[in-house]
Chain A
Amino acid sequence: MTLLRRMGLPVVALVLVAAVLGIQVANGGGTFEPLQPADPCAERTVTSRADGIDGLTEQLVLLGIDGAACTLGVSREALTLELAQPGTRTDAEIDALREGLLAAVQRMKDDGTLPPASDLLDEALDNADLNGLLEAAIRAIPDSVVNAALKTDDVLTRAIDDLDLRAVLADLDSRDDLDAQIQLAITQAVKDSLTARVRDLL
């Protein structure tokens, strides 16, 4: 009787507490935490819902940020949040971002996921402010000739090299300024690529 008075209630309490904690931990009670950022150095498959230049740009940016984050030793998410904040960028960040984007172009080329230049031409011409006659003439060029003259990876590499990433990041809030800068870099890259191609032929 004394034993029951001494131990009955504590034993019931012990069983109840052990049962509650046991069931909770067995159902993930110790690990109900926010999503942990993935390792940016591990290869990630990226896709885009968009087609054409927008889709290509998104894939390059996602892969590029991964590469830059890996170089800087931070998570992709931490770097994205950092770049989204206004302020000056360090040389290390700019260099890492450029290297990341260049590595992304190389990876997509190696994967065979870079679209041929002819796939992007129509959209590029729609966005470009060209003379109507010139635009019609370019559209008339057969795809095989366009693809022989312009390599997507070459144009992208030149555009990334030319791009003032510091200015691009400063203009993240203004989509028009951002588009104008990228447009300018790509136009210049196309010109440079064609010039280099002609020079090679000569």
Chain B
Amino acid sequence: MRRAVAPLLAVTVALVLADSAVVTLALPDILRHLDASVAQVAWVLIAFNLVLGLTALPAAVVFARSQPRIISAVGIAVFAASSAWCAVAQSIDVLIAARCLQALGGALALVGCLELLVAVYGERRGVAVWVTAGVVGTAVGPFAGGVLTEVFSWQAIFVVQVPFAVLAVPAALAVAASPELVPDRDPPAVRPNLTLALLSAALTAALFLLVLLLVEGWRQSPGIAAVTVSVVPLAALAARPLSRLLRPTHEVEIATGCFLIAGGLAGLAFLPSADLVWTIAPQALVGLGLGLTVDRLTAQAMEMRLPRIRHAGWTISARHLGVVVGLAILTPVFTADLQDAQVPAQEAITALVLDAPLLPEDKISIAEALGDELSQQEGRVPDLSHAFATADLAPEEQPAATRLERDLDAQLERAATWAFRDSFLIGAGLALLALLTVVWPRRRVTR
């Protein structure tokens, strides 16, 4: 058991931070299964990040006055129980409530695991394991969520967390750690935390929007979307070797990472087609940027600052409130843009149906079926295949109808891609703001 303690605690950190984005690929399934709107389903992400962001710092205060192993174990147990609750939620409101509780347990677990990992490994290695586990969780979360949704269901995302968290409870109780009795000596590191918040907002744009574009706009399965977005964590792995090769200063590394994320998001805003291949290079830029920035900024925000747990709380708050800000800015923008895209999409569909080489009665029959389908879309990208399946066509008309269906789907892909453009550009703007916080001249301290 003793050997498994630290890995279980690291897995818990990864799980909690993965939960920030793990449901991203499951959102379209949740949307359908719980009959929710896009704005409602965004709250599945917002609620978790908001509660985690708001409770991380108070959690750090609680830890300073109590036994870390007890509070950590309670936090992990609450996280496990609420993960199970998420899995059995039958309405969007219940799921959001369960996510809030999951985040509360997650905040206690995250802060507690830092103390326990330091107790097991020592200061330097303990913090490094905690930071790395967090980055791995953040990067791999969307991929894991997509695979689980594809192979099983969205509920599986929450179910698989339960046994790991349950095992981590005795692991936490097994660590003999005492509260960190250090006076509140250092002020929070404003600049790295601000950069972290802005980058988290930008990275949310990259993952959340890209996943929605792939699954809702381009009709890819969660599994395909998961494999596609796995480019981000893979590219993040290349960041360290590149950094070792060129040996930049920390500031240069972070500034370059911000620029790469901005460039990647701009690339996603200017996709030339709905072919998945075109998303690879922009995602690689985002992943490279992620690998250069997040762990470095987290370490910078905590380095030489005491009490350690309080500063860990600040970085968790910065990251997750950044995600909330990103979602709060982007959700209304892309839902409005998706709504606005309906008119050009409907006009393009009308043009293609009017000019289709089909018999007039077949055109009318398809137009009626399409009209029914489009009227039920409620702010989402419609699935036109049902309209073609229900249209009563002669066999000799089928090839022309199939061509028309393909052309209409292509128009919907164009409309969806176009609708996401502004949101990706806003994400790029957030990354450039993060860059500004890095390169902005520091005030000279005169003694």
Contacts and interface: CB of A to CB of B under 8 A. Distances in A.
Interface string B184-221: 00000000000000000000000000000000000000
A50 B356 CA distance: 12
A57 B360 CA distance: 9
A10 to B, nearest CB: 5
Say what secondary structure dominates the interface of chain B.
helix
Contact of A75 (B347, B360, B371): B347
Interface in A1-23: 4-6, 8-10, 12-14, 16-17, 20-21, 23
A5 B248 contact: yes
B86 interface: no
Given A20-B282, A50-B359, A5 B256 contact: no
Given A20-B285, A29-B272, A35 B351 contact: yes
A10 B247 contact: no
Interface residue tally of chain A, by bracket? 35 or more
A38 B248 contact: no
B273 interface: yes
A27 B260 CA distance: 21
B339 interface: no
Interface string A22-44: 01110111101111111000000
A77 interface: yes
A9 B347 contact: no
A84 B266 contact: no
Contacts of A62: 354
Nearest to B292: A9
Say what secondary structure dominates the interface of chain A.
helix
Interface residues of B, number: 51
Interface in B407-447: 411, 414-415, 417-418
A25 B270 contact: yes
Interface string B9-25: 00000000000000000
Given A13-B259, A13-B288, 11 more contacts: A5-B249, A16-B285, A20-B282, A20-B285, A24-B267, A24-B282, A27-B278, A32-B418, A77-B346, A80-B350, A81-B346
Interface of B: 242-243, 246-249, 252-253, 255-256, 259-260, 262-264, 266-267, 270-274, 278, 281-282, 285, 288, 292, 341, 344-348, 350-352, 354, 357-361, 364, 367, 371, 411, 414-415, 417-418
The 8 closest A-B pairs by CB, nearest first: A17-B263, A29-B270, A77-B347, A8-B246, A27-B272, A35-B348, A77-B350, A34-B348
